[in-house]
């Protein structure tokens, strides 16, 4: 693995802004090695969506970091997996915010708790992150890190790029786009303004992702001048539909994965991000591994970056488990990643980049530039 710099140094360096020459990602990237995306940062070892988790992910060999974006009441984009923050922060411990606990319908589902859109950035900055899976992952870092803004994350990536001597790609996800637009807090234009404002994100690889369709189609037109930016269509439960698709339209995620649906996606996006369970890996008579979905997506001109590879038994398919459900199983997780690499994935979202990097750095994995267009760290 590449040498680990200290986390404190990376966080200190996050205020540094840089711009250096590098090739961006085009609408159709050339042949490249798999892109390792740190899912919510190094979220298996540190509280998710914190600067510390992103810094650790980069130290552990991630090619890209993934901030999920939601909006504050004053229109600032911050990183949380959901706009409900009761499970990922200590907001419940703040008596002054007790009255803000409420119940809302988010994309058709009722959710109870505290919501970012009811807080200003200044108020959110008084909260501290917590581990959302305390029964499975360490809570030793609870209470130490605040909620970062997108601008802070970009600054971290820019500084880390200088230190590491390689580009760190950004893979932001726009969460609940239609919901935020309906309450007067649309995020797409704000995201584009931020990306255009920072020297690093005007040239470094950026992949914007969403489970919705309409916002990606709009972004395809809005970002036509940014050759370093691509779009990724996330895929949800096949029986459900994107939140911005009317029930009568007859479109489900399942139909989006049919050959015609994939060709339609290719008209506005360059990648798809399905759950790995939908890839349906099969072994052929020669012992090779294939996936019809990967083959169909590649035929449509799309790259495939599945989610989410996690190191605990409870998240692994039965054939890869060894031990109790809550126990880590690095060996099983490495086998799981390697089988998907053999099937032809173009990248992956992983909670523990250090474990995924071990799979990617195996001797029989070709040493190619990653899909960010720059060399990835190798062992």
pLDDT, tens digit, for every residue of 12-71? 333 332 222 222 222 333 346 899 999 999 999 999 999 999 999 999 999 999 999 999
Confidence of residue 161 (pLDDT cuts 50, 70, 90): very high
Mean residue pLDDT of the chain comes to: 90
Residue 117 lies in a domain: no
For residue 166, the domain's CATH number is: 3.20.20.190
Residue 86 lies in a domain: no
**Which pLDDT score, from 0 to 100, does residue 367 have?**
55
Residue 93 lies in a domain: no
Residue 339 lies in a domain: yes
**Which pLDDT score, from 0 to 100, does residue 286 have?**
86
Residue 89 lies in a domain: no
Does residue 308 contact residue 349 with C-beta atoms inside 8 Å?
yes
**Which pLDDT score, from 0 to 100, does residue 33 have?**
80
How many structural domains comprise the chain? 1
Residue 250 lies in a domain: yes
**Which pLDDT score, from 0 to 100, does residue 28 have?**
31
pLDDT, tens digit, for every residue of 174-204? 999 999 999 999 999 999 999 999 999 999 9
**Which pLDDT score, from 0 to 100, does residue 17 have?**
28
Residue 265 lies in a domain: yes
**Which tokens belong to 202?**
């005007």
What average pLDDT does the segment 143-147 reach? 98
Residue 171 lies in a domain: yes
Domain interval for residue 355: 9-16+32-81+138-360
Instruction: Give pTM, 2 decimals.
Output: 0.89
Q: Percent of the chain at pLDDT above 90?
A: 84
Query: Is the pLDDT score of 374 beyond 50?
Result: no
Does residue 185 contact residue 75 with C-beta atoms inside 8 Å?
yes
**Which pLDDT score, from 0 to 100, does residue 249 have?**
84
């Amino acid at each position: 693995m590449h040498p680990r710099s200290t986390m404190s140094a990376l966080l200190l360096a996050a205020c540094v802004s840089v711009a250096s020459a590098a090739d961006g990602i085009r609408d159709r990237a050339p042949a490249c090695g798999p892109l390792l995306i740190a899912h919510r940062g190094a979220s298996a070892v540190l509280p998710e969506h914190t600067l510390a988790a992103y810094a650790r992910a980069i130290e552990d060999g991630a090619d890209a970091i993934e901030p999920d974006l939601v909006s504050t009441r004053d229109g600032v984009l911050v990183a949380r997996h959901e706009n409900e923050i009761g499970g990922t922060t200590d907001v419940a411990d703040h008596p002054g915010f007790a009255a803000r606990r409420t119940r809302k319908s988010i994309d058709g589902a009722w959710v109870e708790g505290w919501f970012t859109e009811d807080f200003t950035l200044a108020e959110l900055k008084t909260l501290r992150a917590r581990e959302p899976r305390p029964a499975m992952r360490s809570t030793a870092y609870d209470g130490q890190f605040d909620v970062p803004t997108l601008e802070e994350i970009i600054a971290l990536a820019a500084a880390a790029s200088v230190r590491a001597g390689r580009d760190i790609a950004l893979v932001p996800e726009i969460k609940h786009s239609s919901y935020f637009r309906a309450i007067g807090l649309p995020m797409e234009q704000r995201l584009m303004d931020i990306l255009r404002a920072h020297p690093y994100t005007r040239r470094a690889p950026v992949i914007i992702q969403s489970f919705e369709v309409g916002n990606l189609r709009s972004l395809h037109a809005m970002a036509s001048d940014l050759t370093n930016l691509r779009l990724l269509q996330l895929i949800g439960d096949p029986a459900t539909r994107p939140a911005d698709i009317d029930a009568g339209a007859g479109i489900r995620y399942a139909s989006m994965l049919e050959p015609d649906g994939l060709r339609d996606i290719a008209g506005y996006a360059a990648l798809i991000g399905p759950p790995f369970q939908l890839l349906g890996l099969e072994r052929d008579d020669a012992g090779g591994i294939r996936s019809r979905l990967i083959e169909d997506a590649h035929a449509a001109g799309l790259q495939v970056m599945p989610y989410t590879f996690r190191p605990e038994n409870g998240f692994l398919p039965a054939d890869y488990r060894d031990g109790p459900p809550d126990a880590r199983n690095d060996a099983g997780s490495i086998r799981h990643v390697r089988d998907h690499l053999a099937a032809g994935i173009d990248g992956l979202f992983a909670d523990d980049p250090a474990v995924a990097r071990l799979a990617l750095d195996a001797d029989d994995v070709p040493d190619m530039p990653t899909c960010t267009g720059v060399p990835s760290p190798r062992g």
